[in-house]
Chain A
Amino acid sequence: QQQVKQSPQSLIVQKGGISIINCAYENTAFDYFPWYQQFPGKGPALLIAIRPDVSEKKEGRFTISFNKSAKQFSLHIMDSQPGDSATYFCAASIDRSGSRLTFGEGTQLTVNP
């Protein structure tokens, strides 16, 4: 059972544009939603995370928007740069119980110069 669905699978954006990646989850007990960034040949690295008590979290050019009623959250990358080209994974867990992360399938982002 795929508990976290991520879309799109791949995304091409022009430099300076906005990249948007969406995730939907099924388990309403999830209460921790991180995003990971992975460059080719490297392991994933935590980018930004949100908890459901807020609807938005911003760190520099990266913003997570969270819609609890729709069970959806998204990553927005403003002013996208070629250096942002990577694979992005959303994930979810039940933080209170220390449960393991469930990952989405990943989105390969390409930012053209």
Chain B
Amino acid sequence: NAGVTQTPKFRILKIGQSMTLQCAQDMNHNYMYWYRQDPGMGLKLIYYSVGAGITDKGEVPNGYNVSRSTTEYFPLRLELAAPSQTSVYFCASSYSKPGGEFFGQGTRLTVV
């Protein structure tokens, strides 16, 4: 069972570079989420989607963009990487609404 798959697992970016964090789920879940986790800060919601073609901002959306063209995929785009975006990023999905999300294993991003 794949669940939620994130790639890459690790990445080092230079300031100003761009990248896309990939997320795929094979559970046919409608809801998908992107969180960032900073030490001692819990998880902060970046963006979420309630279905294909629908996305909305979370608590900390600045510097990120998302798209949801299909149910399965929910990529997160960083356009101009900044050191403040150094974090661990988690993608998650749930069937109908928040609570009981399945999380991916995370992408550790360092911006230097």
Contact = CB atoms under 8 A, between A and B. Distances in A.
Interface of A: 6, 9, 32, 34, 41-46, 49, 89, 93, 95, 98-101, 103-106
Interface of B: 4, 33, 40-45, 48, 50, 58, 90, 92, 96-101, 103-106
B100 A43 contact: no
A49 B100 contact: yes
Contacts of B96: 98
Contacts of B43: 44, 89, 101, 103
Max chain B CB contacts within 10 Å: which of A44, A95, A106? A44
A49 to B, nearest CB: 7
Contact of A100 (B40, B45, B100): B45
A86 B104 CA distance: 17
B86 to A, nearest CB: 17
A105 B41 CA distance: 5
A45 B40 contact: no
B100 to A, nearest CB: 5
Given A104-B42, A105-B42, A99 B98 contact: yes
B99 A89 contact: no
A34 B92 contact: no
Contacts of B98: 32, 93, 95, 98-101
A9 B100 CA distance: 23
Contacts of A32: 98-99
A100 B103 contact: no
